[in-house]
């Protein structure tokens, strides 16, 4: 699909990845596709009953979008293995990243996961976790990270990225620029990591830099404050981190995503209007709102208002949607 053919409403909607309730293409989900023209959905355990049901859900969602002239949807899931695995039995169950002992373990996980996701119609995995969890602290990521050594995290992470993407599953590395040295869960409130950029570059950012060199499809921004880089905004709302550091200095031109904006780190501190403005200014492509509620419609309305009122933000939005379409062209054959 050519970006010149997309209306402002389509441009706004492509920026949204939303969650929903239910296990089928219900009226709420139809409305999100028809009215908001969403770019993607994210699935949770409560959306999944069986492989057959999930296949039907994914197929019907894509057919409904196509019938309305909307580009194919990203259908995303968090399937890391271990504690964060939305697909339960009969899908293959993995012990999780900390249990991986070799690159072969990572390859096996990625190949099996890619095959199972492809079979049911899921096309994006919010993995791998590239956070590095030091031994000497009680890291919030201790049970989700590959380990404490950036080189080891990089090796396993790259195997997963390469083998997911070789099998047509978009990989999303998270949580940039790294949350392994934090102890507060951003689902509850906003952590802060008081580290200078040079410190992050010598430790936390190493796996992300490698993932960029290996053409990772997406990178998710964390809901963490890094006052040594940006004293005002968390990474997921920061033009300094998402725009200047990730885009300009590190040269990343793939997809960027916020973490879930319903998490306490954001919801406890900002209204959705402020969030949307910051995301657009920071050149972050995809706004993720994982739960049913008014923020989905409010975010769409705000994006549409900004691109209607501001030539600069319209241009930024067009660049973001072009990156979204590039990924869809590559992986979804639009």
Catalytic sites, residue numbers = 187, 259
Q: What are phi and psi of 33, to 5 degrees?
A: -75, -50
Coil, helix or strand at residue 237: helix
In the block, tokens 């969403």 appear at 38
Q: What are phi and psi of 189, to 5 degrees?
A: -160, 180
Contact 144, 84 (CB under 8 A): yes
**CA nearest to 250, candidates 192, 193, 207:** 207
Structure-block tokens of residue 277: 């403005």
Q: Cα–chain-centroid distance for residue 25?
A: 22
In the block, tokens 């990845």 appear at 17
Pairing of strands 40-43, 84-85: unpaired
221-256 per-residue burial string, b: 16 or more CB within 10 A, e: under 16? bbbbbbeebbeebbbbbbbbbbbbbbbeebebebbb
Per the omega criterion (within 30 degrees of 0), is the bond before 68 cis? no
Sign of the four-CA dihedral 257, 259, 265, 270 = positive
Structure-block tokens of residue 159: 């195997």
Q: How far apart are CA 226 and CA 297, in angstroms?
A: 30
């Amino acid at each position: 699909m050519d970006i010149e053919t997309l209306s402002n409403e389509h441009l706004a909607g492509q920026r949204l990845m939303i969650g929903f309730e239910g296990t089928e293409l219900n009226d709420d989900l139809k409305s999100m596709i028809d009215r908001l023209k969403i770019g993607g959905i994210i699935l949770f355990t409560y959306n999944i009953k069986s492989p057959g049901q999930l296949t039907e859900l994914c197929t019907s969602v894509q057919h409904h979008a196509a019938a309305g002239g909307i580009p194919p949807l990203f259908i995303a899931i968090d399937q890391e293995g271990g504690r964060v695995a939305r697909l339960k039995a009969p899908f293959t169950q993995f012990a999780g990243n900390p249990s991986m002992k070799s690159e072969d373990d990572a390859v096996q996980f990625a190949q099996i996961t890619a095959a199972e996701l492809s079979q049911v119609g899921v096309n994006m995995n919010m993995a791998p976790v590239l956070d590095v969890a030091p031994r000497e602290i009680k890291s919030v990521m201790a049970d989700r990270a590959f380990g404490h050594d950036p080189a080891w995290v990089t090796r396993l992470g790259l195997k997963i990225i390469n083998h997911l993407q070789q099998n047509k599953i978009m990989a999303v590395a998270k949580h940039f620029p790294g949350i392994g040295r934090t102890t507060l869960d951003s689902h509850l409130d906003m952590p802060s990591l008081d580290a200078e950029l040079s410190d992050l570059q010598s430790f936390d950012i190493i796996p992300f830099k490698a993932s960029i060199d290996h053409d990772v499809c997406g990178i998710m921004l964390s809901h963490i404050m890094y006052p040594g880089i940006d004293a005002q905004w968390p990474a997921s709302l920061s033009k300094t981190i998402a725009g200047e550091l990730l885009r300009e200095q590190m040269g990343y031109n793939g997809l960027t995503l916020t973490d879930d904006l319903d998490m306490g780190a954001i919801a406890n501190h900002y209204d959705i209007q402020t969030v949307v403005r910051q995301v657009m200014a920071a050149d972050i492509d995809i706004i993720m709102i994982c739960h049913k509620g008014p923020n989905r419609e409010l975010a769409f309305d705000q994006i549409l208002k900004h691109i209607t009122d501001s030539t600069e933000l319209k241009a930024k939005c067009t660049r973001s949607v072009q990156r979204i379409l590039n990924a869809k062209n590559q992986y979804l054959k639009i």
